[in-house]
């Protein structure tokens, strides 16, 4: 009998604590850091970064610095439609500064950015960054409150000059 009375308040505390822990993201699925071309998971989204380019413009907009354009595939691995939030994505540089996406292709529209279960979309995220900044990683998020899945950005190898063909020896 004693445990029956004391057990009720304890049971009433367990449910709110479990809800609090779940909302803090303790049960959230996130991948270990990966590199370009490798899949990472954050919550109900799987991401693959395929390419990083730079340009002074993106669409009709001109960057204040330069646009770092990250080409990414986003796949819904959950069981319900999920909204892709461009503003939740973070690009980081070698000084530890973080940048938010300022534009996206396809355009930022709710009907375009809702991804149904099992489907994958390709997006280009544009980040306005200072010229000459060394980008080190992008942290991709299911939502603004998720942990995020880091992807290391390896610098693209600079094209090496091709050797000049040597003249053929004279035939004699």
Tracing tokens 């370009």 back to the chain, one arrives at 36
Q: Using the predicted structure, report yes or no on whether residue 36 has a pLDDT greater than 80.
A: yes
Calculate the average pLDDT of the chain.
80
Strand 120-129 with 61-76, pairing? antiparallel
Q: Using the predicted structure, report yes or no on whether residue 62 has a pLDDT greater than 50.
A: yes
The candidate with the shortest Cα–Cα distance to 103, out of 86, 84, 122, is 86
Question: For the chain, what percent of residues have pLDDT higher than 90?
Answer: 61
Cα–Cα distance, 126 to 62 (Å, whole number) = 11
Structure-block tokens of residue 82: 């999920």
By residue count, the chain amounts to 172
Tracing tokens 């990966």 back to the chain, one arrives at 34
Q: Which residues contact 132 (CB under 8 A, 6 or more apart)?
A: none
Using alpha carbons, list the distances in angstroms from residue 108 to 20, 58, 105: 31, 14, 7
So what's the pLDDT on residue 113? 77
């Amino acid at each position: 009998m004693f445990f029956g009375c004391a057990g009720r308040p304890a049971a009433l505390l367990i449910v709110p604590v479990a809800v609090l822990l779940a909302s803090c993201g303790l049960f959230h699925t996130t991948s270990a850091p990966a590199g370009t071309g490798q899949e990472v998971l954050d919550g109900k989204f799987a991401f693959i970064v395929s390419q990083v380019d730079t340009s002074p413009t993106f669409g009709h907009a001109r960057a204040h610095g330069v646009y770092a354009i990250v080409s990414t595939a986003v796949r819904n691995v959950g069981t319900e439609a999920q909204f892709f939030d461009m503003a939740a994505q973070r690009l980081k540089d070698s000084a530890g500064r973080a940048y938010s996406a300022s534009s996206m292709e396809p355009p930022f529209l709710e009907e375009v950015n809702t991804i149904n279960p099992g489907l994958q979309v390709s997006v280009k995220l544009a980040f306005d960054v200072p010229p000459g900044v060394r980008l080190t990683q992008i942290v991709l998020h299911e939502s603004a409150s998720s942990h995020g899945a880091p992807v290391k950005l390896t610098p693209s190898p600079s094209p090496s000059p091709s050797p000049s063909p040597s003249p053929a020896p004279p035939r004699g």
